[in-house]
A and B are shown apart, each in its own frame.
Chain A
């Protein structure tokens, strides 16, 4: 009957019939995978035996973490912070470079989970879980450095506003205390967001468990979730609220980190461009890290139908955009130094480019500004080797950016008599490598024990999850011609589980 009705309408309006071309949406889940297939594949990562490469990565990562972070910190605590390369003038050497580097990495996770959620970018569903996990682990790595940089780590509790015997209170006007609050809030809220997002998926794993202990553990953490729509209704509101809270939060965190620099009167740091410049840089570096870990993970665990080339393409475009913003900020910094007419400001930037640390500046510029420009070309975004190469450049480049900002500025201050070339110690290197190992081992444990893709949201992103899907299928719009979207991957037809 529906067909007959459609026919009469189209016949009556035949003379002036205009067919509107409608571009089909690129598919987020390829090969018409069923709900059950999605469950099987994502839970399979947790339930099946890990591939040999997991162990091949995990064992060295744990050794790096134990020797680097564990050994490094024990040596540091028992000897004193003098074992770091920090000297008079360059008191913020590698430790603070590493802190800013890691905290920046985390930002992409929150951007994907919160900002892309608020802007209704449905492609975020396949990558948000892993990116949020990355945020948590990166903040853990970051937190190590300032906690030990205070000198006597057993006095670190002085950072908290607790009444103490000396009746001394923290200076709430100091950006360093703002930083304590910003980073700890960021960690707590990211953890809540990550955990809340995971509850329905933990319930999925719980319902598939046969073994008692495993079932009990997943059962405890899934809070007895049973997919009730009355719960989903509150849950989605909670998710929206957390996204709305995390969005300004993530922008504030790196802004506050940049205040550590910008509110001081050191030439090269005392600029108003720092907050947006730091936030763009953080998102830029974070997306590179997301791709660095997701490209191998999707191949190892066969997740290509959920993390498609379309996802990689989108992330490459964000890297291009934020990389260009960062490039603009670098150039604007130079212009403002020149235009300010301030002698010390101009000198600070001259030394940055031509001084003893020119090599760091060159690394920063070529890795952060030039390498992402490759992503203007479609074939570069479609070639995973190129994408990985650029991401590795960006990872390194963002570390050098922080090195340039911190070390080159501090090494040459107002008094030339103080000038000295800064050298890191082997403890600095060990600790940094240790945090890389810690990050990698935490991420591998996450892949092993927790659902690495948001199962519920990926199911939601399927076409037939729309409650009006059957109606739309039964009554197609007669005035529209659907033009197939360009998609890098070819569909294999209806695939079996």
Chain B
């Protein structure tokens, strides 16, 4: 044991199934906790409502990402084909009426930019990659990617109290309740 003082990250409790986790998270939500999360091996549908999470705002980012792609393709094609290097090929004019021939590339770049916005938007919203996390120090937490269903309530939540939260998790059906420490990594 090191002698440095460790901060408390929060309490981690295990639940036996998706159904019991669902019911427990409704109770945590109703108790007014804010800094808490469920950890599951697969996306549990319905859990967002039980936790009171709003719909993801990712689509708005992606919409503007897509528009950027569309504009990029249009200007790339228009400026080069009509502006600086006009070439008459395939009997098509070198003016605004040639735009239908640019549609395939405008579509492809819309998809390309949207796709990458989805990836980076997701990483931003999830604050990933983050290779270390206090929960990884827990002995049971590795089961969250196998067959474990967990709830963790963080110490930075205003409603958190060392004894009260532990009792609360016990009351809503949590097992193997564990105090997780934050060693500052």
Contact = CB atoms under 8 A, between A and B. Distances in A.
Partners in one complex: yes
Interface stretch (B1-9, B74-82, B157-165, B176-184): B74-82
Given A459-B41, A460-B43, A235 B81 contact: no
Nearest to A204: B145
A160 B134 CA distance: 46
A242 B62 CA distance: 10
Interface in B114-142: 114-116, 118-119, 121-123, 125-126, 128-133, 135-136, 141-142
Contacts of B111: 185, 189, 245, 248-249, 252
A173 B94 CA distance: 10
Contacts, number: 217
Contacts of A480: none
Nearest to B132: A224
A226 interface: yes
Nearest to A216: B131
Interface of A: 34-36, 39, 161, 167-175, 177-178, 181-182, 185, 188-189, 192-193, 196, 200, 203-204, 206-208, 219-220, 223-238, 241-242, 245, 248-249, 252, 256, 259, 455-457, 459-460, 464-471
Given A169-B85, A227-B145, A467 B41 contact: no
A229 B38 contact: yes
A109 to B, nearest CB: 16
A375 to B, nearest CB: 32
Contacts of A169: 80-81, 84-85
Nearest to A255: B104
**Secondary structure of the B contact surface, majority rule:** helix
Contact of A234 (B50, B51, B58, B90): B58
Given A229-B48, A238-B118, A465 B109 contact: no
Given A178-B105, A456-B42, A467 B18 contact: yes
Interface in B52-82: 53, 55-56, 58-59, 62, 76-77, 80-81
Contacts of A193: 115
A171 B101 CA distance: 10
Nearest to B126: A231
A181 B123 CA distance: 26
Nearest to A242: B118
B122 A226 contact: no
